[in-house]
Structure 1
């Protein structure tokens, strides 16, 4: 019995070591450095709360609000796009072969670099871009609009484009597990199409929506490259802020922001897990 128990511990030892070395230890290091002092030139090991006090200044507070705004908007739009796409693939495409083919078509754009996909929006959204020219040719506008590029609009659009697949996949995975007999029984009981969607499909798809939401929240909360490129430096996020702090060698302040961002993200994820049980999807 002891030998079997020892073998079980030996089997999980590599995973535990990897987890400690590449996850737990870096988080602990960041947490410790967040309390160090920085005098503008060097950082000194100490215990100070100045870095955390600076985060609650109006400037930083506005940046965090901006982060929440991006996260909420990207989550909403990816859900609005992802749910109908997953619904169509799961219930309107009857052939497994065509489901696979159409699903692969959805994934093809995501095989390219994120940077390339972001940059591809610039000639489309610019003042002389395709969108402005199309609107002018339709006489909807008299002059090119600047709101499409290097703005919050372009940041959210690029993020939705980058991350919508992370919402489609788990929702589709939940929907294909729904027994057709449940939908047939609901229809036989006199339920309308909307009632079937509301009372059967949405509740049974909730774990997939929750998993997709976790993906979107964790990805967008730490985003900084998209914000930097698509906003043209005219807006900010916490990730972009930390990137600038690291470049200016303000490691303790960047570490404090990382700790706060991690705590907020974990709180959101825990809130999602408290609302929806995703164990059946794992």
Structure 2
């Protein structure tokens, strides 16, 4: 028998570095007694299946149905997908089909809106998190950012029309001050107005997760970096940004997924002149071309999932959830 020195208690049988220190009784107390784990997860599973899995499955099924001007025929066909990519691989005058041009236009808006919302959202979050000292003032400023959400998106979009229109406030000011001699046409019903409206509507979706990530940063890390001689830019680049990656990725997913499927903002602020994937689906639905719209929706979903998959490879967002 091994000799045990006085005053040193022998470790319990089976203890080791790989064994949990939580007593078995404490672990058992965390479970609901008498209810299996799979039964506890059943309500959430049913809700997920009813409002997410089943609707997506129905859209996928309808995308393979036939249709004409009068009815939808539940007969299997690939024609809807063939029509979408018609002329895309045969080479055209400009080498790009309508579908590719539409997706390129949509991705362009996504990139621009993502860049501007990230810049504004990070700046606002940084100021509130690190330059506002009191919790009460931080809460107040954060609530002020949510005030635009008290009104509908359509009203917030329409409010830009009197400002950016041909006879709007901005053009009247430019002509009154002599900056321009005629109204600036590209302020409204253009790519500029669409991006401006998107940024106005969706910047909050970038502020919230980034601000949440910044508030979790241990201020002692920043003080240690400052004591080590790091400049403000070095602290921002090497400490704050790496620790905010999760919030940046979550905000990016929010913004990109919303912009990819949006058709209201592009229709109102683009004057029904700018094409997008969401706008095509909306038009096809209005003409009761549901199988074609469903096929476009499936392709759009695949593209969005590919973007989300790429973003989630950068950082594990499960740490934030």
Match of 1:20 in 2: 49
2:78 to 39, 45, 49: 49
Partner of 1:143: 182
Moved more, 181-190 or 38-47: 38-47
* TM-score, normalised with respect to structure 1: 0.96
C-alpha RMSD of the superposition: 1.5
Greater RCO structure (CA 8 Å; 6+ sep): 1
Deviations 1:167-226 (CA, angstroms, capped at 9, x unpaired): 001101111111111111111111111111100111111110000001001111110111
Residue 79 (structure 2) pairs with residue 40 (structure 1): no
Which residue does 1:122 correspond to in 2? 161
Question: Do residues 193 (structure 1) and 222 (structure 2) align?
Answer: no
> Which whole-Å CA distance do the structure 1 matches of 2:311 and 2:150 have between them?
29
Deviation, 1:21, is: 1.4
Q: What's the TM-score once normalised by structure 2's chain length?
A: 0.84
**Pairing of 1:1-282 with structure 2 (within 5 A):** 6-57=35-86, 58-282=97-321
Check whether the contact 1:223–1:239 (CA below 8 A) recurs between aligned residues. Answer: yes
Q: Distance in 1 between matches of 2:303 and 2:124?
A: 30
**1:30, 1:180 → 2: CA distance?**
48
Higher relative helix content: 1
Offset at residue 5 of structure 1 (A): 7.1
Post-superposition offset of 1:109: 1.4
Per-residue CA deviations over 1:29-64 (Å, capped at 9, x if unaligned) read 110111111223222122221111222241222111
Deviation at 1:70, TM superposition (A): 1.0
Residue pair 1:55, 1:61 contacting (<8 A) in 2 also? no
State the distance in 2 between where 1:236 and 1:102 align. Answer: 37
Q: What CA distance in whole angstroms lies between the structure 2 residues aligned with 1:4 and 1:36?
A: 49
Between 241-250 and 56-65, the greater mean CA deviation after superposition: 56-65
What displacement does 1:8 show?
A: 2.5
Max radius of gyration: which structure?
Answer: 2
Separation (CA, whole Å) in 2 of partners of 1:14 and 1:196:
46
CA distance in 1, matches of 2:287, 2:138: 49
- After TM superposition, give the deviation of residue 6 of structure 1 in Å: 4.5
Distance 1:5 1:139, change over 3 A: farther
